[in-house]
Amino acid sequence: MSSETIVTPGRRLGLVEEHDAGPGTYVRGGMIYSSILGTKRITAPETSEKPVIQVDRKSPLAIPTIGSEVLCRVIRMNPRAATVAIMMVGSTPCQEDFAGTIRHQDIRSTEKDLVQMVNSFRPGDVVRAEVISLGDQRSYFLATTKNEHGVVFAQSTAGNTMIPVSWEEMQDPKTKAVEKLRVAKQGRIPQHVAFIMDGNRRYARKRHRIASSGHVSGFYRLANVLEWCNDLGIQNVSVFAFAINNFSRSPEEVSALMSLAKEKLRELADKSSLVKQHGVRIIIAGNRDLLPGDVREAAEFAEEKTQHNRGMRLNICFPYSATDEISAAIRKVTEDVRKGVLSENDIDEQAIESRLQIPGPPLDILVRTSGQIRFSNYMLWQSAKLAYIRFVDVFWPDFSFFHMFCILISWQLAYKSIKQRS
C-alpha cells in the first residue's frame, strides 16, 4: 500500500527516525528531502521496518516515429519476419510496450534474395534498427539495412555473451564457436567508466538480511561487472568501494567492511580469472593512511601482485572522497613549488590533474545505482568535463548486463553531441 503526491527538489519529505530514504531522495540534518521533481511515494513496510519514502522521476514518453533509431529484443521469428519488443527510442527507455516487425526484405540493402532469417536473428537477440513505417495496427516496421544496424547483443548456445568478428558472424570468446547473425557495425567503446556502487545495505534490508550480506552480494556483482567491461573492451574502470565518511558508520559495520575488503582484495589479486587470464591491473586510489594496517597491507599486495599486468586497469577508490583527492593534489603542487620542481607560472589545470589519485584517461561514463541522484563526493573533478552521467534505479547487486548494455548504447548515441561540447 502506498500514498503519492507531486514534489519538487529540496522539498522536505519526512524524518529519518520515522522513514527510510529511498531513490530520488537525500538526507540532511535528520530530515529526508526530495532530490528530483517527481512523485513522492511512501511504501508501507512488509515487516516491522520503517516505511520507505522515494520520489519517482517523471520521464518523457519515448514514442517511435519514422526515422527513429530504436533498440529492440527479438521475441519470436518465422521464415519471413522477426517480431521484436522495442525497448529504447534513441537514448530514452520506453515506458510503454511497443511491438515491431523486421521483415525479410528489410534486413539487408543488397542481395535480399540470399537473406535467411535463421542466419540473421534469434529470439533473445538485441537489435539496433530504424523505424521505416508506422506499420499496421499491431506493430511498427523496422529495418536493419544500414551498416550500424543489426544485432548488437547476443548470447551463444552455450549462454556466453558473443563478440562481433564480421558483419555476419559473432563468436563465443570462451568456446570459440562462431554463429551467423546480421551484425551491426560496432560502435565506439568508452575508454573509462566509473561506478558508484550504491544500494547494498537497502538490498540486504529488503531481503531481511544483515547489512554485511548486502556488501558481499555487492562484491560478487562487481566481479560480474568487471567481466562485462573486459568483454566489451573497456580499458579503464573506477569503482567507489568505500567513502572516507563511511568511517562514521557503526563500528560493527566498518569492521565488517574492512574484513571483507582485506579478504576480497587478496582474492581478486591472487585467484580471480580477471587477473590470471586477462591481466587486470589493480590500483588503489584514495587516502590509504586512514586504513587499518592489515587492510593497507592487502591493498599494497593487490597493487604489487598486478603491477606488471597490461590488461584492463581497475581503480579501486578506497577510502576516497573527491575533496580529499583535490586537496591532496593541491598540497602536492604546493610542495613541488617549494622544492623547485614546479614554478608558480606552471600551476594550471593540468598541474593539478596530473597529481590526482585516480589515474587513467578522461572519464567517459559515470554510473550510479540505487536511484539516488547525487555524486556523493566521487570523481567531481573528472565528472566536471565531458562525462556522461547515468543514474540507474536498481540496487547495485541487482545491476545487470542489460543495464550496462543500455548505458553503453545510450552513450554511443549521445557521443556526437558530447564531443561537440568539447
- What pLDDT, on the 0 to 100 scale, is given for residue 45? 65
Nearest of 106, 99, 104 to residue 72 by alpha carbon: 99
- What pLDDT, on the 0 to 100 scale, is given for residue 58? 60
Second CATH level (architecture) for the domain 69-180: Beta Barrel (2.40)
| Straight-line distance from the first to the last Cα atom of the chain, in angstroms, rounded to the nearest whole number | 47
Asked if 49 and 205 touch (Cβ cutoff 8 Å), the reply is: yes
Q: Residues with catalytic annotation?
A: 198, 246
DSSP H stretches of helix in 193-290: 200-206, 211-232, 251-270, 273-276
Q: 126-133 and 150-153 as β-strands: parallel, antiparallel, unpaired?
A: antiparallel
Sheet of 25-28: strand order equals 12-15, 31-34, 25-28
Q: Residue 283 is placed in which grid cell?
A: 590500483
CATH hierarchy code of domain 192-320+357-420? 3.40.1180.10
- What pLDDT, on the 0 to 100 scale, is given for residue 9? 75
pTM attached to this predicted model? 0.75
Q: Residue 353 is placed in which grid cell?
A: 590533474
- What pLDDT, on the 0 to 100 scale, is given for residue 201? 94
Buried b (16+ CB within 10 A) or exposed e, 305-322: bbeebeebbbbbbbbbbb
Calculate the alpha carbon distances from 97 to 14, 93, 348 in Å: 35, 11, 51
Same fold, 69-180 and 192-320+357-420: no
- What pLDDT, on the 0 to 100 scale, is given for residue 18? 85
Q: Where along the chain do its domains lie?
A: 2-57, 69-180, 192-320+357-420
pLDDT in tens, the chain (422 residues): 344 566 777 788 888 888 888 888 888 888 898 887 778 888 776 554 788 888 887 656 678 999 999 999 999 999 999 999 999 888 777 877 899 999 999 999 988 888 999 999 999 999 999 999 987 767 899 999 999 999 998 989 898 888 888 989 999 988 999 999 999 988 889 999 999 999 999 999 999 999 899 999 999 999 999 999 998 889 999 999 999 999 999 999 999 999 999 999 999 999 998 899 899 999 999 999 999 999 999 999 999 999 999 999 999 999 999 999 999 999 999 999 999 999 999 999 999 999 999 987 999 999 999 988 889 999 999 999 889 999 999 999 999 988 898 899 889 888 877 777 66
State whether residue 248 is helix, strand or coil: helix
Q: How far is 13 from 32, CA to CA, in rounded Å?
A: 5
- Beta-carbon contacts of residue 101 (< 8 Å; ≥ 6 apart): 81, 82, 83, 84, 135, 139, 140, 141, 142
Calculate the alpha carbon distances from 177 to 122, 184, 273, 309, 372 in Å: 16, 19, 21, 28, 41
Q: How far is 16 from 81, CA to CA, in rounded Å?
A: 54
DSSP H stretches of helix in 340-386: 349-353, 380-383
Count Cβ atoms below 10 Å from residue 84 Cβ, excluding itself. Answer: 28
Q: How far is 408 from 405, CA to CA, in rounded Å?
A: 5
Q: How far is 77 from 80, CA to CA, in rounded Å?
A: 8
DSSP secondary structure letter of residue 161 = B
CATH hierarchy code of domain 2-57? 2.40.50.100
